[in-house]
Amino acid sequence: MKKLVLMFSLFAMACSGGVEIGGVCEMPGTSDECVSGALCTNESGGNTCQQICENQEECEEGFSCNGVTGSSEKTCQPDGA
């Protein structure tokens, strides 16, 4: 039942424009689930959509522009994640 609810939630989010930055996603290295300008990023606490970046200046304080496993992109990832 939990899987069904999760799958429905992900489908509903995908249809409504995608998972917001910081929201949970399933497929690291892809942007399919995330809002425009974000990529699903594997972090120590799980997978979340994070802002795509090219350099550190594009990230907020407390975030670092780092590469994403399974992708040639970088995202603003929480420091210590």
Tens digits of per-residue pLDDT, 15-56?
556 999 999 999 999 999 999 999 999 988 899 999 999 999
CA–CA dist 62, 70 (Å, integer)? 24
- pTM as predicted: 0.75
What local confidence, expressed as pLDDT, does residue 81 receive?
Answer: 60
Residue 62 confidence (pLDDT) above 70:
yes
What local confidence, expressed as pLDDT, does residue 4 receive?
Answer: 41
Confidence label for 80 from pLDDT (cuts 50, 70 and 90): confident
What local confidence, expressed as pLDDT, does residue 17 receive?
Answer: 66
How is the chain split into domains, by residue range? 19-78
37 CB burial (10 A radius; 0-12, 13-18, 19+): middle
